[in-house]
């Protein structure tokens, strides 16, 4: 399940250290979702995450919770800025304040209110303290606003203001002045003077057209001004494209013998139509679709409730609109100079009706258990922001340009266009250059600070809570009539803090449940794309047509990744961008027969065994108890609580499945695409959060490649092997044996395919039943076709890395024994590292038991693969002895007849044994891990964050800082927002513990991207779920070969030496004056790269079970 | 061997004030997480019957040998006071203990609420579990469950000075005055019996349990005696959870106005209610006396608005968080 897996991923990326420490490691980094077993543990996260219409950024790490400290609740602009903060210009806090000012000015610019923009600027300019927050960009925005109106003298005034505070005008300042001059065609002399000043400041006229991000008609006006003095001025030619120099991709980027880019099975016209559909959806920002429950018949009660809801909604619309207008009116009356209300412009960006619409959506999606105030506030704020960005893209004509380029871009992919050897990114860049758009497609980054989003959201939420009311007696006419709020605000108390929740009144929940409405509204970025994604060409341009998508997803409020990506030479990012484009260009379609079976079970009673969540009506009912709850005894209350908890869990699971299936059902007849982005280690993820190929067994089973390929001579065999892999049987057997087994049980397979719900149901016993069923059906179709080799299959076949983290470690350290146990060495049968470790531990135990060690005797018969598995797996991710012991204790507790009094001793003993076995098997691995950990510790202790660059050139920084919380004062409740600030000291423990796993993940993502790019050159369809690679049955062999080649190539690089050199340069460069003690120590540590073993890496090429 | 260990510490034992010792009848004491019978000694020397709860099996043998020598004055039970009456269903495994078993083995029967104190309990709350335990005891007190099923059990415990200040905080002391203050003050008479500076007198104790104490902080020995009149008026063991919930909600943001809270819950005509209770309309929740909260609750209870609103669902849900 996506959410669940996201949780695991998130834990890894954000809190890998904690994961290791507390041993909570749900160590399945792989996305084999044994959903049933794990569902319970992760329900909490589900509950939090399963809110529809949620933002793209998956990791809501900024915890916001109620703050009990009393503060005056006020919503004024931050007026008193601590002096100290202003002096440290690099501090995050400073940047956030600066960003807030810029977004405010941009709002005024958007609203075409130069006077307001200027007075806001003056408010800061005239105060010696606040003035320090202003940069040239702030003045430029005001200049541009005046330029639109042709007010030259205002611009001149601003220039002198700049001068008075000692700031130098930049290109954008001159662009604004020239635009203004071009607009009213004033004297050539003025233009000449301006150009002269521009040159005096060290700029060139050409720079204007190469660097400025022009919007609307700005470029034309500037050009006109320039041509007033140089009538023959020609636009500078676009810079020639650069080529990535990475050794790993020399062949890939070499201009010789490039095959043409693979075509899609669509004509240009068809692609154009699909683009228009996608554009339409994104322009609306949200889309309402019918849920899969819509097929159920409607009861009279539901009809009545729906009518009631409709009436209520129209009343609420009116009252919310009124409240909003009233609050805006009150704000507008506040004297601008005395206490400027920063929220006011943000409430003017959209028509009032749109704000109301967005606010009322909260009511439609709020679960009966309620939702945290902070989450709701952020959601509301983000929605307003997204809407505003859409409007800005329209206004600035950015969308128009994107549209124009996309229309041409289609020719790269359309089957009726000329073959073409460009990569999507290269082709897009070429088209942009040809159209003379310069850099202006790169929309100016104007994201709102996280605090601002929250503040805006809180304000809207307060209005909503106050304005939406319902008559108390609406369901029970006997009660006296009185209007009561539909939403109420309560605190939920955790051991040391309190969380503010917004909950719907039970009356409202009752009406909603009676109405059982079947329309679902999603943000447009939740849906898969209906046309090929816009190729990534920079860290903030790509993926969706309109929706703001960032290349790297990160924690709310963190800006360090973005800064790092912008600072690095853009050519270094090409491999990553190209790999993402390749993954995103894979076209998908729905496996309709499987989807229909799933929906039929879903709409019936669900099936927990098959991971189809049952409806709430199937929830356990509490025992009938006295109607007056105060008369209940403790156990009755307890039972009721358990029932409620179960119902809440079922609700969130059900909703999650409902969203996925409904989205799948909506695109059932369409071809669709998943644009991809990366996390900060470079691991790739599809952008749409609910329905994608990273999802659980159910979701994966309904996805097929849109492109079909004949099975070829070996394809059917691969399908059969894949089926056996999905069952989880025959794990220890050779491929040939798995194939033979499949042939033996062919009858069962065909029975499953033909009578999935009425036959012998062999498929239901598989580890991944739904994918197994889909595979059975494919095998049935293929084997019954007259020529199976010619049968056109859309079915993805998976190849899975066996314990991929350890594979990378073993390869890094060239550990021979380790390499054998994780299948880097060719073997006749697959090796299972967990069994090997378990056997070895058992050996030790026997010896100890003979020597009379009590605990070794107690443990007789209890050591198994299962007991050691989690710990071995998480060793890769840096689990400590402490965490390892906890894991062991958990496993032993699961064994019924294990004596409880020995738990502590036994787990302690076991973890010691497992660690020493691993140390023996992967001797270099442990050294490398220690080296990484120790280096990270020293770096973090010196007050810096750990940074590195992947072999593909992606810069990485670990975003772990000592959290500091800021209190956001709001009327309803104070929110304490924890944010990881780059001006904070790094969190040493996290920096240290998370470095080894993050580093390994940066390597596995590199391996995946290399494989993806080389598969592209071979014309293969390729997608991945981290260390699980998918392709057509026909091309499994080729993919396997590429996968091994690239693994060998990657690890033939001097990865650790390169890392050491990079870090020495970064942290110990001789330029720094004083060599502190820490620096000497760090230098020694970093220079001392661990020695490696003598495993011959080339052997991987012949290893069948490396990925299988 | 036990003797030696205890003699070592004898000289530094905190003196239990005379009045605390005089009328002791029967005492339970507990030491977290394990204890070298310092208090035991003191109590035994005072000649009272003592039941010792020992949570760590390693310390049991010593205590048991003492038990055998003392001819019935001391009774030792393997159990952890902080795992008293766990909510988990199924059999209670030691060192978790069930109060029913505990009282049965002590031979103490339940007495009516208004009767005299049936048992006195002595102990130290380790700082890590302090707050947690205070909450658990509070819920037990209001529900008349666990130890309070047997009557107004008197607690004599060492707690940190910080927590003592919270328990006895007065309205308007913005930081200290919390839900815990209101609820304990309504429920119990709180007496400070003794205060020891941790810095020197109890260094041996600090080493054992209190790693995180601030320097110059004190340990306070306080006595919590449940009030005889707790369950009069509208307050009953059955509905007291609502009272606790209400107080917690009110004081979650101490500077919020009471009227806003009442209105947002849509419980009642807030303005009218405040007028009846003679509480100023602009009162902030931090300014209400414990007694005011009690009156507020009783007024709402008698108008039976609680039962017909969402409030009682919320109260039920909040119970989940009681047993952390």
Closest C-alpha among A959, A101, A90 to residue A449: A101
Which is higher by pLDDT, A1007 or A25? A1007
Q: How far apart are CA A598 and CA A608, in angstroms?
A: 12
State whether B221 and B241 are in the same domain: no
For chain B, give the percent of residues with pLDDT over 90.
9
Largest CA distance in chain B: 69
Which is higher by pLDDT, A760 or B279? A760
pLDDT at B304 over 80: no
pLDDT score at A461: 93
Residue B11 covered by a domain: no
Give the residue carrying structure tokens 């409020």: A557
- Note whether A506 contacts B: Cβ–Cβ < 8 A: yes
State whether B134 and B158 are in the same domain: yes
Which pair of tokens denotes residue B140? 């037990």
Q: How far apart are CA B230 and CA B113, in angstroms?
A: 9
Check CB contact under 8 Å for B318 and A493. Answer: yes
Check CB contact under 8 Å for A70 and B254. Answer: yes
Helix orientation angle between B240-251 and B179-187, rounded to the nearest 10 degrees: 150
State whether B287 and B202 are in the same domain: no
State whether B194 and B261 are in the same domain: no
Look up the CATH number of the domain holding residue B221: 3.40.50.150
pLDDT at A75 over 80: no
Check CB contact under 8 Å for A641 and B316. Answer: yes
Residue B5 covered by a domain: no
Domain final residue, candidates B206, B226, B246:
B226
pLDDT score at A297: 84
C-alpha distances in Å from residue A984, one per residue of A1, A408, A944? 35, 47, 10
Helix (H, G, I), strand (E, B) or coil at A678: strand
Domain final residue, candidates B226, B245, B271:
B226
pLDDT at A1020 over 90: yes
A869, A937, A990, A992: which one is catalytic? A869
A352, A800, A848, A1037: which one is catalytic? A800
State whether B294 and B192 are in the same domain: no
Please give the residue of chain B at the shortest CA–CA distance from A638. Answer: B320
State whether B58 and B174 are in the same domain: yes
- Note whether A644 contacts B: Cβ–Cβ < 8 A: yes
Which pair of tokens denotes residue A700? 């994966």
Which is higher by pLDDT, A4 or A1024? A1024
The confidence band for B246, taking pLDDT boundaries of 50, 70 and 90, is: confident
Tens digit of pLDDT for each residue in A872-908?
888 777 777 888 888 888 888 888 788 877 888 888 8
Least reliable range by pLDDT among A526-540, A722-736, A857-871, B113-127: B113-127
* Nearest CB to B253 within list A68, A505, A628: A68
Read off the pLDDT of each residue in B300-323 and give the average, rounded to a whole number. 62
Residue B3 covered by a domain: no
Q: Is A549 left (phi over 0), alpha (psi -120 to 50) or beta?
A: beta
pLDDT score at A899: 82
Closest C-alpha among B129, B104, B130 to residue B119: B104
Tens digit of pLDDT for each residue in A375-400?
999 999 999 999 999 999 998 888 99
Q: How far apart are CA B67 and CA A323, in angstroms?
A: 73
pLDDT at A926 over 90: no
Check CB contact under 8 Å for B254 and A630. Answer: no
Check CB contact under 8 Å for A634 and B249. Answer: no
How many helical (H) and strand (E) elements, i.e. helices and strands, does chain A have? 42, 24
Tens digit of pLDDT for each residue in A243-281?
888 888 988 888 777 788 999 999 999 999 999 999 999
State whether B150 and B291 are in the same domain: no
pLDDT at A122 over 80: yes
Check CB contact under 8 Å for B253 and A70. Answer: yes
* Nearest CB to A640 within list B248, B310, B316: B316
Tens digit of pLDDT for each residue in B305-315?
665 556 666 76
The confidence band for A495, taking pLDDT boundaries of 50, 70 and 90, is: low
Which residues 229-248 on chain B approach chain A with CB closer than 8 angstroms? 236, 238-239, 248
Give the residue carrying structure tokens 């200049």: A143
Strands A975-979 vs A964-968: parallel, antiparallel or unpaired? antiparallel
CA A61 to chain centre: 12
Closest C-alpha among A543, A582, A538, A552 to residue A252: A582
* Nearest CB to A485 within list B145, B252, B266: B266
Which is higher by pLDDT, A632 or A930? A930
Residue B13 covered by a domain: no
Which is higher by pLDDT, A785 or B318? A785
Cα-Cα-Cα-Cα dihedral sign, residues A978, A983, A989, A993: positive
Domain enclosing residue B300, as ranges: 237-322
- Residue A2 host element (H or E): helix A2-22
State whether B202 and B125 are in the same domain: yes
| Apex A299 CA angle, A297 and A304, nearest 5 | 135
Tens digit of pLDDT for each residue in A994-1006?
999 999 999 999 9
Residue B79 covered by a domain: yes
Active site residue A265: no
B54 is in an annotated binding site: yes
State whether B23 and B143 are in the same domain: yes
* Nearest CB to A630 within list B238, B249, B286: B238
How many helical (H) and strand (E) elements, i.e. helices and strands, does chain B have? 14, 7
Read off the pLDDT of each residue in A1064-1069 and give the average, rounded to a whole number. 86
Tens digit of pLDDT for each residue in A153-177?
999 999 999 999 999 999 999 999 9
Active site residue A754: no
Cα-Cα-Cα-Cα dihedral sign, residues A721, A723, A724, A725: positive
- Note whether A224 contacts B: Cβ–Cβ < 8 A: no
Which is higher by pLDDT, B266 or B15? B266
Check CB contact under 8 Å for B317 and A506. Answer: no
A170, A548, A815, A1027: which one is catalytic? A1027
State whether B30 and B172 are in the same domain: yes
* Nearest CB to B324 within list A495, A637, A640: A495
- Note whether A492 contacts B: Cβ–Cβ < 8 A: yes
State whether B268 and B203 are in the same domain: no
Number of domain units in chain B: 2
Check CB contact under 8 Å for A493 and B321. Answer: yes
C-alpha distances in Å from residue B139, one per residue of A13, A211, A579, B187, B300? 40, 67, 59, 10, 20
- Note whether A968 contacts B: Cβ–Cβ < 8 A: no
pLDDT score at A942: 87
Closest C-alpha among A1058, A1052, A1055, A1043 to residue A1095: A1052
pLDDT at A591 over 70: yes
Which residues on chain B are in Cβ contact (under 8 Å) with A493?
Answer: 248, 252, 318, 321
Check CB contact under 8 Å for B252 and A70. Answer: no
Contacts 24+ apart (CB under 8 A), A296-300: A296/A516, A296/A518, A296/A603
Q: DSSP state, A81?
A: -
Domain final residue, candidates B226, B250, B272:
B226
Tell me what the pLDDT averaged over chain A comes to.
85
Active site residue A1027: yes
Which residues on chain B are in Cβ contact (under 8 Å) with A637?
Answer: 316, 319
Cα-Cα-Cα-Cα dihedral sign, residues A1067, A1069, A1071, A1076: positive
pLDDT score at A584: 96
Which residues on chain A are in Cβ contact (under 8 Å) with B236?
Answer: 630
Q: How far apart are CA A110 and CA A318, in angstroms?
A: 27
Helix (H, G, I), strand (E, B) or coil at A558: coil
Asked if A609 contacts A36 with a C-beta cutoff of 8 angstroms, the reply is yes
Tens digit of pLDDT for each residue in B44-96?
777 777 787 777 777 777 778 777 887 777 788 887 777 777 766 556 667 77
Tens digit of pLDDT for each residue in A650-679?
988 999 999 999 999 999 999 999 999 999
Residue B102 covered by a domain: yes
pLDDT score at A1043: 96
Strands B49-54 vs B26-30: parallel, antiparallel or unpaired? parallel
pLDDT score at A1079: 81
Tell me what the pLDDT averaged over chain B comes to.
74
- Note whether A129 contacts B: Cβ–Cβ < 8 A: no
pLDDT at A83 over 60: no
pLDDT score at B30: 52
For chain A, give the percent of residues with pLDDT over 90.
52
- Note whether B189 contacts A: Cβ–Cβ < 8 A: no
Size of interface A-B (CB pairs under 8 A): 77
Which is higher by pLDDT, A970 or B297? B297
State whether B277 and B170 are in the same domain: no
- What ipTM did this prediction achieve? 0.74
Residue B107 covered by a domain: yes
DSSP for A440-504 reads GGSPPP-PPPHHHHHHHHHHHHHHHHHH-EEETTSS-TTSPP-EEESEEEEEEE-SS-EEEEEEE
CA A1022 to chain centre: 20
Read off the pLDDT of each residue in A567-587 and give the average, rounded to a whole number. 94
DSSP for B83-134 reads GBS-S-SSPPPTTSB-HHHHHHHHT-----TTS----EEEEE--HHHHHHHH
Asked if A46 contacts A3 with a C-beta cutoff of 8 angstroms, the reply is yes
Residue B232 covered by a domain: no
Check CB contact under 8 Å for B321 and A494. Answer: yes
Tens digit of pLDDT for each residue in A331-384?
887 755 444 578 889 999 999 999 999 999 999 888 888 889 989 999 999 999
Largest CA distance in chain A: 102
Q: Which neighbouring-strand residues pair with A1023? A: A1030
pLDDT score at A16: 35
**Is this structure's pTM higher than 0.90?**
no
* Nearest CB to B320 within list A66, A488, A641: A641
């Amino acid at each position: 399940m996506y959410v669940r897996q996201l949780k695991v991923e998130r834990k890894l990326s954000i809190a890998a250290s904690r994961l290791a420490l507390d041993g909570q490691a749900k160590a399945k980094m792989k996305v084999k979702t044994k959903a049933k077993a794990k569902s319970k543990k992760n329900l909490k996260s589900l509950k939090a995450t399963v809110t529809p219409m949620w933002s793209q950024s998956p990791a809501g790490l900024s915890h916001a919770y109620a703050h009990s400290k009393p503060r005056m609740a006020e919503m004024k602009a931050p007026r008193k800025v601590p002096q100290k903060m202003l002096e440290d210009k690099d501090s995050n806090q400073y940047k956030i304040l600066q960003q807030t000012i810029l977004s405010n000015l941009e709002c005024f610019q958007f609203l075409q209110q130069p006077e307001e923009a200027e007075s806001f600027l003056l408010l800061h300019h005239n105060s010696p303290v606040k003035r320090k927050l202003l940069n040239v960009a702030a003045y430029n925005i005001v200049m541009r606003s005046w330029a639109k109106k042709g007010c030259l003298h205002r611009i001149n005034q601003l220039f002198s203001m700049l001068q008075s505070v000692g700031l130098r005008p930049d290109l954008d300042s001159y662009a604004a002045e020239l635009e203004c001059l071009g607009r009213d065609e004033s004297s050539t002399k003025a233009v000449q003077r301006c150009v002269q000043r521009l040159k005096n400041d060290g700029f060139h006229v050409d720079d204007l057209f190469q660097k400025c991000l022009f919007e609307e008609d700005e470029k034309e006006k500037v050009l006109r001004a320039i041509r007033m003095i140089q009538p023959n001025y020609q636009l500078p030619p676009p810079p020639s494209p650069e080529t990535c120099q990475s050794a790993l991709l020399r062949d890939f980027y070499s201009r010789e013998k490039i095959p043409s880019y693979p075509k899609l099975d669509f004509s240009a016209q068809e692609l154009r139509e699909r683009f228009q559909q996608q554009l339409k959806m994104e322009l609306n920002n949200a889309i309402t679709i019918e849920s899969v429950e819509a097929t159920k018949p409607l009861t009279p009660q539901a009809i009545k409730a729906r009518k009631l809801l409709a009436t209520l909604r129209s009343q609420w619309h009116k009252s919310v609109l009124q409240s909003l207008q009233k609050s805006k009116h009150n704000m507008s009356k506040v004297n601008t100079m005395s206490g400027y209300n920063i929220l006011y412009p943000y409430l003017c960006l959209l028509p009032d009706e749109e704000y109301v619409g967005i606010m009322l959506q909260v009511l439609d999606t709020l679960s009966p258990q309620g939702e945290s105030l902070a989450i709701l506030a952020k959601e509301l704020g983000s929605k307003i922001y997204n809407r505003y960005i859409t409007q800005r893209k329209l206004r600035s004509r950015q969308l128009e340009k994107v549209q124009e380029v996309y229309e041409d871009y289609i020719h790269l992919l359309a089957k009726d266009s000329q073959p073409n050897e460009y990569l999507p990114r290269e082709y897009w860049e070429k088209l942009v250059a040809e159209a003379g758009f310069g850099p202006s497609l790169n929309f100016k980054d104007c994201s709102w600070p996280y605090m601002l989003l929250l503040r805006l959201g809180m304000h809207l939420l307060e209005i909503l809570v106050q304005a939406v009311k319902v008559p108390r007696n609406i369901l029970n006419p006997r009660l006296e009539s009185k209007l009561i709020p539909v939403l109420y605000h309560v605190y939920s108390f955790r051991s040391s803090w309190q969380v503010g929740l917004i909950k719907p009144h039970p009356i409202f929940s009752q009406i909603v449940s009676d109405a059982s409405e079947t329309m679902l509204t999603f943000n447009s970025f939740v849906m898969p794309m209906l046309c090929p994604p816009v190729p990534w060409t920079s860290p903030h341009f790509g993926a969706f047509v309109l929706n703001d998508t960032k290349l790297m997803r990160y924690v709310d409020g963190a800006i360090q990744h973005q800064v790092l990506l912008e600072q690095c030479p853009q050519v270094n990012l090409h491999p990553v961008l190209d790999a993402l484009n390749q993954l995103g260009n894979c076209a998908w379609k729905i496996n309709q027969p499987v989807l229909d079976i799933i929906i039929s079970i879903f709409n019936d009673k669900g099936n927990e065994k098959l991971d189809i969540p049952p409806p709430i009506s199937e929830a356990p009912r509490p025992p009938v108890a006295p109607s007056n709850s105060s008369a209940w005894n403790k156990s009755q209350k307890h039972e009721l609580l358990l029932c409620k908890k179960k119902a809440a869990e079922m609700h969130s699971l059900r909703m999650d499945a409902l969203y996925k299936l409904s989205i799948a059902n909506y695109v059932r007849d369409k071809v669709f695409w998943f644009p991809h982005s990366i996390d900060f280690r470079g691991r790739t993820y599809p952008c749409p959060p609910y329905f994608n190929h990273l999802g659980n067994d159910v979701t994966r089973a309904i996805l097929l490649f849109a492109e079909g390929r004949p099975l070829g001579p070996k394809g059917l065999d691969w399908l059969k092997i894949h089926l056996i892999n999905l069952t989880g049987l025959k794990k220890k057997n050779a491929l040939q044996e798995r194939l033979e087994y499949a042939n033996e049980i062919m009858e069962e397979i065909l029975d499953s395919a033909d009578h999935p719900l009425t036959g012998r149901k062999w498929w239901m016993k598989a580890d991944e039943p739904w994918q197994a069923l889909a595979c059975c059906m494919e095998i049935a179709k293929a084997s019954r076709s007259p020529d199976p080799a010619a049968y056109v299959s859309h079915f993805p076949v998976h190849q899975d890395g066996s314990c991929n983290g350890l594979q990378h470690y073993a390869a890094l350290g060239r550990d021979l024994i380790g390499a054998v146990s994780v299948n880097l060495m060719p073997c006749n049968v697959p090796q299972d590292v967990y069994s090997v470790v378990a056997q070895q531990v058992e050996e030790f135990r026997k010896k100890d038991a003979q020597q009379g060690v009590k605990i070794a005797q107690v443990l007789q018969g209890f050591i198994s693969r299962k007991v050691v598995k989690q710990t071995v797996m998480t060793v890769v991710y840096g689990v400590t002895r402490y965490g390892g012991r906890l894991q062991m204790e958990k496993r032993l507790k699961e064994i019924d007849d294990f004596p409880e009094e020995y738990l502590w001793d036994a787990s302690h003993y076991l973890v010691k044994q497992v660690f020493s076995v691993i140390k023996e098997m992967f001797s270099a691995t442990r050294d490398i891990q220690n080296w990484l950990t120790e280096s990270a510790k020293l770096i973090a202790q010196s007050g810096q964050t750990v940074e590195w660059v992947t072999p593909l050139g992606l810069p990485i920084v670990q975003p772990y800082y000592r959290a500091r919380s800021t209190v956001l004062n709001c009327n309803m409740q104070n929110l304490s927002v924890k944010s990881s600030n780059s001006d904070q000291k790094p969190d040493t423990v996290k920096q240290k513990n998370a470095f080894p796993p993050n580093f390994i993940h940066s390597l596995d993502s590199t391996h995946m991207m290399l494989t993806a790019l080389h598969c592209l050159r071979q014309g293969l369809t390729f997608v991945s779920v981290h260390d699980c690679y998918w392709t057509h049955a026909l091309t499994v062999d080729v993919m396997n070969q590429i996968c091994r080649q690239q693994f060998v190539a990657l690890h033939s690089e001097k990865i650790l030496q390169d890392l050491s050199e990079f870090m020495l340069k970064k942290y110990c460069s001789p330029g720094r004056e004083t060599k502190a003690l820490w620096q000497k120590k760090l230098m020694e540590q970093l220079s001392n790269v661990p020695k490696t073993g003598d495993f011959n890496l080339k052997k991987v090429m012949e290893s069948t079970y490396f990925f299988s | 061997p036990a003797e030696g260990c205890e003699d070592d510490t004898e000289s530094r034992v905190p003196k239990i004030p005379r009045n605390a010792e005089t009328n002791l009848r029967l005492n339970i004491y507990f030491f977290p997480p394990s204890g070298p019978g310092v208090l035991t000694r003191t109590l035994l020397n005072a000649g009272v019957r003592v039941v010792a709860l020992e949570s760590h099996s390693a310390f049991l043998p010593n205590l048991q040998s003492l038990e055998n020598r003392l001819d019935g004055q001391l009774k030792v039970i393997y159990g952890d006071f902080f795992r008293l009456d766990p909510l988990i269903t199924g059999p209670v495994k030691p060192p978790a203990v069930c109060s029913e078993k505990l009282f049965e083995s002590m031979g103490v029967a339940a007495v009516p609420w208004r009767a005299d104190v049936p048992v006195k309990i002595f102990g130290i709350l380790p700082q890590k579990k302090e707050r947690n335990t205070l909450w658990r005891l509070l819920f037990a007190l209001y529900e008349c469950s666990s130890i309070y099923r047997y009557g107004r059990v008197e607690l004599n415990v060492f707690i940190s000075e910080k927590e003592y200040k919270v328990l006895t905080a007065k309205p308007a002391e913005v930081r200290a005055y919390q839900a815990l203050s209101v609820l304990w003050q309504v429920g119990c008479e709180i007496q400070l019996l003794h205060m020891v500076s941790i810095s020197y007198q109890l260094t041996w104790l600090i080493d054992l349990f209190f790693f995180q104490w601030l320097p110059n902080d004190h340990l306070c020995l306080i006595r919590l005696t449940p009030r005889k009149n707790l369950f009069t008026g509208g307050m009953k063991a059955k509905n007291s959870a609502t009272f606790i919930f209400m107080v917690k909600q009110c004081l979650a943001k101490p500077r919020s106005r009471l009227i806003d809270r009442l209105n947002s819950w849509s419980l009642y005509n807030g303005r009218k209610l405040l007028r009846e209770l003679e509480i100023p309309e602009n009162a902030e929740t931090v300014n209400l006396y414990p007694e005011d909260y009690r009156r507020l609750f009783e007024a709402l209870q008698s108008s039976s608005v609680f039962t017909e609103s969402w409030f009682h669902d919320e109260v039920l849900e909040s119970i989940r968080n009681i047993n952390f």
